[in-house]
Amino acid sequence: EPIYFITGNKHKLLEAKPIAEKYGFIIVQSNYPKHEIQDSNILNIARHAALNAYMNLKKPVLVEDAGLFIDALKGFPGPYSSYVFKTIGITGILKLMENIVDRKACFKSAVALIYEPFIISVLEKTCGIISREPRGEQGFGFDPIFIPEGSNKTFGEMSIDEKNKYSHRARSVEKAFSTLKQYFKN
Ligand code: ITT
Ligand code: NA
């Protein structure tokens, strides 16, 4: 039975799919609308959306909620990343950081996975720096301005496989599916 990934974002599906498959799970995108509450905690956002979808679909569901937390901006845009990306965008963030030397930022990823009788929630992060200029056409969102620790490339310059070696989402999805697989064994 497939797991329904409640997301409007195809990139997220493409990133998560190979990781789930490694553990023997198939995920497919669902067009059920992600029910997004407003909360400062992305794990709460993911959990609520997963419960909402599960209660309606009554099938295995996966929700992932992510955000970019910039140190010098006290964690902004964080849980507002989607709105900030759509409004001021990458240009706006770079403008806000024009005279800021401390470029440190972390992407956080919260996963809520409901697969009866199990419910798994995971929070992971990847830290790095905000680049001075956007680089690369791959990925989505803030990928062109984020350079993860351990690389010189932005996420925007990486293939899915390479981004998955570093990303917050790869870490959270990996942990969620390895945990699920473990539960099935026991
Ligand atoms: P959903 O339908 O799954 O909610 P979304 O694209 O709206 O997809 P989120 O709400 O989880 O995703 O993420 C909020 C924003 O944070 C998103 O629009 C991007 O701008 C940014 N973001 C999240 N993960 C990212 C990543 O891996 N790379 C670049 N930007 C990311
Ligand atoms: Na969203």
Among 60, 45, 79, which residue's Cα sits nearest to residue 177? 60
The answer to whether the complex's ipTM is over 0.85 is yes
> Residue 149: its pLDDT value, please?
98
Q: From ligand 1's centre to the CA of 119, what distance in Å?
A: 22
Q: Is 65 a catalytic residue?
A: yes
Query: Which of 139, 145, 176, 143 shows the shortest CA–CA distance to 11?
Result: 139
By the 10 Å C-beta count (0-12 exposed, 13-18 middle, 19+ buried), 107 is classed as buried
Q: Which residues of the chain have a pLDDT value below 50?
A: none
- At 39-58, the pLDDT tens digits run 999 999 999 999 999 999 99
Which pLDDT score, from 0 to 100, does residue 185 have? 87
Q: Are 104 and 131 in contact (CB under 8 A)?
A: no
Query: How many Cα atoms sit within 13 Å of 91 on the Cβ side?
Result: 3
**39, 65, 143, 161: which one is catalytic?**
65
Task: Enumerate residues lining ligand 1, CB below 6 A.
Answer: 7-9, 12, 34, 65-68, 81-82, 85, 107, 139-143, 155, 167, 169
Q: Among the residues of 58-104, which ranges form H helices?
A: 81-87, 89-96
Domains of the chain: 3-185 (3.90.950.10)
The tens digit of pLDDT for each residue in 78-102 reads 999 999 999 999 999 999 999 999 9
Residue 165: per-residue pLDDT: 98
> Helix or strand or coil: residue 160?
helix
Would you call 4 helix, strand, or coil by DSSP?
Answer: strand
